[in-house]
Amino acid sequence: MLDLHEATSPEVGQAISKGAVAVLAVGAQEQHGAHLPLSTDTVMAQGVARRIAEAIGGLLLPPIAYGDAWNNEGFPGTLSLSPDTMRAIFMDIGRGLSRSGFRALVIVNGHFGNREPIALAARLLKQETGFPVFHLDYPGMEQAANDICDSKPAAPTFYHADEVETSMMLALAPHLVRMDKAAAEYPTFPATFGMEAISLSTFNKSGVFGDPTSSTAAKGEALIARIVDESVKLVDLFLSDR
């Protein structure tokens, strides 16, 4: 594994000549309640991406610390990029990796709002340059959360500043977690949620969705291990004929 942030140019050249795969974490600058930092999705995605890069001998790129987080703009500190900007960033990075001779790109996405621009960029890059892009959204997360966590999510597969994210942050960056400020909120989702553009602050007070109070670093480690295992299996499949 090579960290592109800290590597030298000759080191990267050597890795490329050996068929290195680039691994890119994508997060968000987004509110996560009173107990987690705005960087939560970026820290988590980079933590998972680093372990995937270690497992596959990949080249870890610097993370993208912004995402499309428009529906949390009602909470201070959230700073959102448009889907067009996000797609353009992925296209530029993909084209650059392709010109540099990388074998492929694996994107580890840590924020729901980035899914569409990532998928579109992956498709356009393939059509335009043939460069292979694989994108992961924490595979196996729902089953792992069911098995490992004590609290229920605020909605199916909706993990935000809850036991899942707080435990993962306790495992990856405990100095950024204010457990004394952790408190549960189970908001009532509007009946039309997902069918129209709704700001989360219109029906949620604290920015927390679920119950972070029983979070532990051990649960976070277990969640990360399950997600990384599942991710590496899928990346191996993706790379098997490339």
Which residues sit at the interface with Zn ion, rule CB under 5 A? 40-41
Q: Minimum distance between the CB of residue 126 and Zn ion, rounded to whole angstroms?
A: 28
Smallest distance from Zn ion to CB 9, Å? 34
Distance (Å, whole) CA 165 – CA 221: 11
Closest CB to Zn ion among residues 45, 104: 45
3-state percent helix, strand, coil for the chain, nearest multiple of 5: 50, 15, 40
Residue 168 carries which side chain, given as an amino acid letter? M
- Nearest CB to Zn ion, comparing residues 93 and 200: 200
Smaller CB separation from Zn ion, 129 or 151: 151
The whole-angstrom separation of Cα 95 and Cα 91 is 6
What number of other Cβ atoms are within 10 A of residue 70's Cβ?
A: 17
> Concatenated DSSP letters for 192-226?
TBTTB---GGGT-SSS-BB--TT--HHHHHHHHHH
Q: Cβ closer to Zn ion: 50 or 160? A: 160
Residue, CB closest to Zn ion: 41
CB of 240 to Zn ion, least distance (A): 31
Task: State in angstroms the smallest separation of the CB of 154 from Zn ion.
Answer: 12
